[in-house]
């Protein structure tokens, strides 16, 4: 075991998952190696990841040709290939799932981006993907939009594991914890067990700083009276926002409402830190890793961020609940500077939807071209 950095992180209460999936890493043994030798404990995928995997290599060409010859439409070709990849990944992670009593070893597959504002469509797609993958350690990714909240509750009430994605707002995250508990309560009312229902809430990080930093730089350059105040929070928004979300997590899952669910073997819905690759060369490479290590958390990392942690990572410490007062102060400062975080998080949600919808449509177009060539 040459590098068990991830075990040290795990001892502090955080599971490191991989935010990437492709047929290449399944075929060449890379994913298996990350699990068995490095300690990666789960995996997330999204439409952009599949677009990159399928369009960026010839690993899927044979499958597209075979499925096209069977007369499948492009969306069904995509689903068939994605489901196969998710099944293979889930099987590789199954020992982790079993050893952790279902807490880790989960693999996430997202509903189609076009359903992001469609509650009923999301429920139906979630059921379909859950049954098609047919693995206990799959999670269906559902965007945490207003329309997504009732879908989250319904799917959980049916015993379907859910990864709530695209969360930027602390208020929306609060609503997600309630949707989660409501789902478990509904399931108990139906006389069903909640013991094996697993969920995470994916809170996005780096994209927040990417949006807020230019606003702060504009204040620094053009409003000298506020420059020092703006400098004091430059690059601090995402971490401060995440720490406030963690405070909500602690409150929600120590509440009397949750204690009743815990008494019935209900699990906490862990916070998952997403978008943790650093997008700003001025910031340290693991900016969105170390400050958020701590109990009941997951960090899903893109491959290059994971590599940096494994190769250059320092001794991890439990930091997620530290600096809460500083986080509150940073968010209050943003408000004083006229930065409306509600608008920022609303815009980020819309942008996040577009960032999945565009590559997904490009992927379907690319599949269609190949389908026509083989049909």
Residues with catalytic function: 141
The answer to whether 166 and 204 have CB atoms below 8 angstroms apart is: yes
Bridge partner list, 271: 201, 297
Tokens in use for 352?
């996040």
Instruction: Classify burial at 129, counting beta carbons within 10 Å of its beta carbon; exposed 0-12, middle 13-18, buried 19 or more.
Output: buried
Report angle CA 241, 247, 252 to the nearest 5 degrees.
Answer: 125
Report the distance separating Cα 127 and Cα 151, nearest Å.
10
Cα–Cα distances (Å) from 122 to 111, 147, 160, 218, in that order, read 7, 9, 13, 40
The answer to whether 69 and 81 have CB atoms below 8 angstroms apart is: no
Tokens in use for 341?
């975080």
What is the SS3 assignment for 5? helix
Classify residue 35 by its DSSP letter.
I
The answer to whether 152 and 164 have CB atoms below 8 angstroms apart is: yes
Q: Up-side HSE of residue 153: CA atoms within 13 Å toward CB?
A: 16
Q: Which of 236, 245, 212, 241 is nearest to 339 (CA)?
A: 212
Tokens in use for 111?
């509903």
Q: Which of 80, 337, 122, 362 is nearest to 231 (CA)?
A: 337
Residue in this structure with the two tokens 């889930």, named with its chain if needed: 90
The answer to whether 297 and 270 have CB atoms below 8 angstroms apart is: yes
What is the SS3 assignment for 95? helix
The answer to whether 130 and 160 have CB atoms below 8 angstroms apart is: yes
């Amino acid at each position: 075991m040459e590098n068990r950095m991830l075990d040290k992180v795990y001892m502090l209460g955080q599971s490191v998952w991989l935010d990437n999936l492709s047929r290449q890493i399944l075929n060449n043994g890379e994913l298996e190696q990350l699990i068995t030798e490095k300690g990666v404990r789960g995996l997330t995928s999204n439409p952009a990841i599949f677009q990159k995997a399928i369009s960026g290599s010839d690993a899927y060409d044979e499958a597209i040709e075979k499925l096209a010859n069977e007369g499948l439409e492009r969306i069904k070709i995509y689903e068939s290939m994605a489901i196969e990849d998710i099944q293979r990944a889930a099987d590789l992670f199954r020992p982790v799932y079993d050893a952790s009593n279902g807490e880790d070893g989960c693999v996430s597959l997202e509903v189609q981006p076009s359903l992001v504002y469609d509650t009923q469509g999301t429920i139906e797609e979630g059921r379909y993907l859950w049954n098609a993958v047919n693995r206990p350690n799959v999670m269906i990714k559902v965007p945490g939009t207003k329309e997504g909240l009732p879908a989250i509750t319904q799917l959980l009430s049916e015993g379907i594991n859910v990864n709530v994605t695209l969360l930027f707002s602390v208020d929306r995250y609060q609503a997600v914890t309630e949707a989660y508990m409501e789902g478990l309560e509904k399931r108990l009312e139906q006389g069903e067990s909640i013991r094996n229902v697993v969920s995470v809430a994916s809170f996005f990080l780096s994209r927040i700083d990417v949006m807020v930093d230019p606003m702060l730089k504009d204040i620094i350059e053009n409003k000298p009276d506020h420059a020092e105040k703006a400098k004091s929070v430059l690059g601090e928004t995402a971490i401060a926002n995440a720490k406030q979300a963690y405070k909500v997590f602690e409150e929600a899952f120590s509440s009397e409402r949750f204690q009743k669910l815990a008494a019935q073997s209900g699990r906490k819905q862990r916070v998952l830190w997403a978008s943790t690759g650093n997008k700003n060369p001025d910031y340290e490479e693991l900016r969105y890793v170390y400050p958020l290590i701590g109990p009941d958390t997951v960090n899903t990392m893109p491959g290059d961020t994971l590599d940096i942690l494994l190769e250059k990572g320092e001794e991890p410490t439990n930091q997620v609940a530290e600096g809460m007062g500083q986080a509150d102060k940073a968010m209050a400062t943003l408000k004083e500077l006229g930065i409306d975080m509600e608008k920022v998080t609303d815009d980020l949600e819309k942008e996040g939807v577009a960032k999945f919808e565009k590559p997904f449509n490009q992927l379907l177009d690319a599949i269609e071209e190949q389908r026509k060539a083989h049909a």
